[in-house]
């Protein structure tokens, strides 16, 4: 059986971006993670060890978001790599990073990237 786990709206304040002021003042980000897995055993036995722990997903996202990068594409790939490496039972993974109020020429609410692995 296939199941999905969602860890949505992980809010981070980080210092990503190509502009010098982004490194100094930072900005708000939202990260959403979707994991395709099989948690049948956990559902039947009520055991955390037989599923993906949301705490681990949140920890990985927050640790990687704390490491400055010029591009959110780079941060997103690091998050995907770590989740795939550290957590077991993942059949498919999707990570979306949204940058709120990016400093670009125009009135833009947000920009986002999506990586599937």
Number of helices (H) and strands (E) in the chain: give both, helices first: 4, 4
CA distance 45 to 75: 35
Task: Examine the residue annotation and report whether 96 is marked as an active-site residue of this protein.
Answer: no
Which residue among the candidates 41, 70, 96, 99 is catalytic per the annotation?
99
User: Tokens for 12?
Assistant: 């981070």
In whole angstroms, how far apart are CA 60 and each of 9, 11, 20, 56, 117?
14, 13, 26, 6, 16
CA distance 65 to 33: 13
* Catalytic positions: 99
């Amino acid at each position: 059986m296939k199941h999905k786990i969602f860890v949505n709206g992980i809010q981070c304040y980080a210092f990503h971006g190509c502009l010098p002021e982004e490194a100094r003042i930072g900005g708000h980000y939202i990260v959403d993670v979707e994991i395709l897995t099989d948690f049948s055993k956990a559902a039947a036995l009520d055991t955390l060890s037989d599923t993906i722990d949301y705490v681990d997903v949140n920890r990985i996202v927050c640790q990687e978001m704390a490491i400055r990068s010029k591009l959110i594409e780079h941060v997103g790939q690091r998050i995907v790599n770590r989740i795939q490496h550290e957590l077991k039972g993942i059949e498919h993974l999707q990570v979306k990073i949204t940058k709120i109020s990016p400093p670009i020429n125009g009135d833009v609410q947000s920009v986002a990237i999506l990586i599937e692995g």
